[in-house]
Amino acid sequence: MTHDCSPSPSPGRPRVAALDVVRGFALCGILLANIQPIADAGSLVIASGSPAGPAETWLGLLVEQRFFPIFSLLFGIGFSLLLESAAGRTARPRLLLLRRLLVLLAIGLAHMFLLWRGDILTVYAVVGLAVLLPSTWLPRWAVAGLAAVLVTAALIVYGGGTMLVPGLFLLGSALVRYGVIDRMERSARGPAVLGLVFAAGAAPALWWQQGGMGPGDPHTATSANPGLPMAAAGLLLAGVYVCALLLLLRTPLRPALRAVFAPLGRMALTNYLTATVLVLAVSPLIGGPPHTWSLTTLLLIAGAVLTAQSPLSALWLRRYRQGPVEWLWRWATWGHRPPLRHEPRTGETGGKTRKGQAPEGRAR
């Protein structure tokens, strides 16, 4: 349920490493939430008709609707970062973004009709065309205000779900336009304070979610607005996850977190699409209907997929600038073939050199 809309590194704006880590972390949660729907004949929800087991209970508490808000926010952030980058490279940056969204729509439709009906890329593309692109003509205060209105309306009227996407897109865009993204790694105070606020709200929201549900089933609430408790808890817990990760990135764990999650995040679109293929490939090997699989089974499937994707992404990015699908998307966006391989470092073009020997072409 994701892709990378952030621009490639440029001299004017270096790549924000924290965004790649957050995106990669969220990709793990998205995969865990999507395994059963993908395997269950591509349905959008886990099949009903049987009481919820431990897997559904824990997924409902910690995973479902906790990670797609992060990706929606990141999409809005990446869109605005790309607009800023494109504005310095082309006279018509909005036309460039229009092409980018149309290409994303084509990718999403192919994914939907060929692999899985629950594809989110089509939703992102349509909302981007209808909401995010027109918002680039609005002042930043209007974008922030509209984001608040749309998120609130999505919660109260529709009970969250994909109706949160427009507001979260605009919220991500507003964060860029107010300079929050540029300052996000300068201090731990902001993530710490926000994390405490989100946690204080998440605790009663989770209780509300469980208290408002039917007996043992986190998917059938009995309140007037069935989706509201889970959606509210999801937004707050997503905030806790992001703030906690930003704080951990300021500890000695930063190198490990970057090594594990950043490659996944930089190749999020490629990994999102290939995860669907991998889940569809392994699901026939597991006995029983997907909605009856245990939490252990889901964790093993997700772990196997991510154990393959993370090191392969890291190996790929050592040689290439972007993931293969990201590169094709960039090519279609800009209308010319971008370089894929990293440029060789100085001294590497003349072959290997022995210790103490100067590379060819250098003065000895």
Mean pLDDT of 188-200: 94
Residue 117 in domain: yes
Nearest alpha carbon to residue 137 among 126, 146, 124: 146
Range in 141-145, 212-216, 338-342 with the lowest mean pLDDT? 212-216
Whether the per-residue pLDDT at 159 is higher than 80: the answer is: yes
Q: What is the DSSP letter of 220?
A: E
Does residue 352 sit within a domain? no
Assess if residue 11 is contained within a domain: no
Identify whether 364 is part of a domain.
no
Task: Print the domain residue range for 25.
Answer: 17-334
Q: Is residue 197 in some structural domain? A: yes
Per-chain mean pLDDT for the chain: 85
How does pLDDT run across 33-58, given as a tens digit for each residue?
999 999 986 444 444 444 455 667 77
The answer to whether 111 and 119 have CB atoms below 8 angstroms apart is yes
Q: Is residue 8 one of the residues assigned to a domain?
A: no
Quick one: angle between helices 93-114 and 268-282, nearest 10?
Answer: 0
Terminal Cα distance for the chain, rounded: 54
- 């906690």: which residue's tokens? 244
Assess contact for 86 and 38: CB atoms under 8 A. no
Number of compact structural domains in the chain: 1
Q: Is residue 251 packed enough to be buried (19+ CB in 10 Å), middle (13-18) or exposed (0-12)?
A: exposed
Q: Is residue 10 part of a domain?
A: no
- The confidence band for 345, taking pLDDT boundaries of 50, 70 and 90, is low
* 205 found inside a domain: yes
Distance CA 253, CA 73 (A): 24
Helix axes 254-266, 228-248, angle to 10 degrees: 120
> Distance (Å, rounded) from C-alpha 22 to C-alpha 263?
11
Integer CA distances (angstroms), 123 to 68, 169, 282, in order: 12, 12, 27
Output the pLDDT for position 53.
Answer: 59
Q: What per-residue confidence (pLDDT) applies to 220?
A: 44
